[in-house]
């Protein structure tokens, strides 16, 4: 690395350990008090001429935004695994490297998915609402009953790092794991899970369905009225991946009709303002897109983004490059 510290921007305040590292190893403006949007980050980039910009979903860079980046920028380091907010081909075409933060958030995302599974099956949202109202009466033997998680059949769509981590946790609950993926895993990674090439063949066998795949850039939702109808009546849907994967009107209809017993959701089509009809449903357990929201994981994500900047400036391979 040269004697001059690299100049960087970040669109959000990072965790304390990362901010201390920036103070020591980089030249950067003070951390923003609120997340910067795209216009603000572009304006600051032209004023500050950074070699790298650390971004999140708050400041998407697409189309004309990419063209508007100053020539000084050689790396966009997103503090996320997801790339929905970046036009990666356009960035690469401009000779701007892209990095993300895979692996370090796998366990916390899988933990949250298991929380959604358990909470949706055991009516956690309804129990919490009852208790906040003061409870007030004992429950009858057949009142407000949930479903046991142990021993159920879990279907997983998408078995990348997080999907496989969810499968490992499910085995601790003696669950029968099925999965659908673009391609079958190597048998050494299946660990007893059953592969279904056809989603339509897998869905009727699932008590619980959990989504762990990226949203298709040009495709529609994978969970529609048709695919929901293939699930057994009384099943549970969990989505800790992307809101665009689910037709929310079809989901609402399935929850209202009782075809779905419940749902556990961390992501929504319209964030941070989910459909009010979903918010009003008693049989949905919801979290605010918080899969990686632990001190340990968010710190590791920030540090990995900075590691990519350090590698770029030193002329070394990026630890976690995005190549397509």
Active site residues: 242, 271, 289
Quote the CA–CA distance of 72 and 52 in Å, as a whole number: 8
**Torsion 127-292-249-155 (CA) sign:** negative
- Per-residue 3-state assignment (H helix, E strand, C coil) for the chain: CCCCCCEEEECCCCCHHHHHHHHHHCECCCCCCCCCCHHHHHHHHHHHCCCEEEECCCCCECCHHHHCCCCCCCEEEECCCCCCCECHHHHHHCCCEEECCCCCCHHHHHHHHHHHHHHHHCCHHHHHHHHHCCCCCCCCCCCCCCCCCCCCEEEEECCCHHHHHHHHHHHHCCCEEEEECCCCCCHHHHCCCEECCCHHHHHHHCCEEEECCCCCCCCCCCECHHHHHHCCCCEEEEECCCHHHECHHHHHHHHHHCCEEEEEECCCCCCCCCCHHHHCCCCEEECCCCCCCCHHHHHHHHHHHHHHHHHHHCCCCCCCECCC
């Amino acid at each position: 690395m040269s004697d001059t510290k690299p100049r960087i921007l970040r669109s959000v305040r990072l965790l304390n350990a990362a901010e201390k590292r920036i103070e020591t190893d980089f030249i950067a403006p003070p951390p923003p008090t609120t997340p910067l949007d795209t216009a603000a980050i572009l304006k600051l980039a032209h004023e500050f001429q950074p070699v790298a910009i650390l971004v999140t979903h708050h400041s998407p860079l697409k189309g004309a935004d990419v063209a508007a980046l100053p020539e000084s920028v050689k790396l966009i380091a997103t503090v996320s695994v997801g790339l929905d907010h970046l036009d990666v081909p356009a960035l690469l075409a401009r000779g701007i490297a892209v990095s993300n933060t895979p692996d370090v958030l796998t366990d916390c995302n899988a933990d949250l998915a298991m929380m959604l599974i358990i909470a949706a099956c055991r009516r956690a949202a309804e129990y919490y609402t009852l208790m906040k109202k003061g409870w007030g009466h004992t429950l009858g033997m057949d009142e407000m009953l949930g479903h046991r998680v142990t021993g159920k059949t879990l279907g997983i769509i998408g078995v990348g790092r997080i999907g496989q981590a969810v499968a490992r946790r499910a085995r601790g609950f003696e669950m029968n794991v099925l999965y659908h993926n673009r391609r079958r895993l190597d048998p050494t990674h299946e660990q007893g899970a059953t592969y279904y090439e056809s989603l339509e063949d897998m869905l009727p066998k699932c008590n619980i369905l959990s989504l762990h795949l990226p949203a298709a850039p040009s495709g529609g939702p994978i969970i529609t009225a048709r695919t929901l109808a293939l699930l057994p009546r009384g099943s549970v849907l969990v989505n800790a991946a992307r809101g665009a994967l689910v037709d929310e009107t079809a989901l609402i209809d399935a929850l209202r009709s009782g075809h779905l017993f419940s749902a556990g959701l961390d992501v929504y089509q319209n964030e941070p303002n989910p459909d009010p009809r979903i918010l009003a449903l008693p049989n949905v357990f919801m979290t605010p897109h918080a899969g990686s929201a632990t001190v340990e994981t968010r710190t590791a994500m920030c540090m990995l983004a900075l590691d990519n900047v350090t590698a770029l400036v030193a002329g070394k391979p990026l630890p976690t490059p995005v190549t397509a």
